[in-house]
Structure 1
């Protein structure tokens, strides 16, 4: 028996650190003018990860 490629589970990278609601609150805080470094510290992520979430 053969399997088509879409039937085999494929690992798609690391799981996201923040949930969708946390990402929303992060974007609200940035819009409110909070410092990005402080937001990243509060959320437990790096500034680079924060910017990655803002791009998505």
Structure 2
């Protein structure tokens, strides 16, 4: 009896997952109207990023910039590559 129930629940879960994937492919998702697919907010605003680029151009070490700004060194390099 337990095997029968387990197989039934597994089949139902597989069917539900296929419905979810189909809706995602079609762009119909309950998360879209909520704005769940906006992505992450930027770590810094435009003014702070401009200051970061100016300090980097002045020769301040990237690690010091990262510590001062509270972001990782990779994020510092990403802002320096962005050159907006």
TM-score (norm 2): 0.54
Cα deviations by residue, 1:1-31 (Å, 9 ceiling, x for unpaired): xxxx7xx657231000100000000000000
Measure the CA separation in 2 of the matches of 1:11 and 1:20: 22
Q: Of 32, 35, 58, which residue of structure 2 is paired with 1:32?
A: 58
**Relative contact order (alpha carbons < 8 A, sep ≥ 6): 1 or 2 greater?**
1
Structure 2 unaligned spans of 5+: 1-26, 28-32
Moved more, 10-19 or 22-31: 10-19
Between structures 1 and 2, the one with greater helix share = 2
Structure 1 unaligned spans of 5+: none
Runs (4 or more) in structure 1 with deviation over 2 Å come to: 8-12
Aligned residues: 50
Bigger Rg, which one? 2
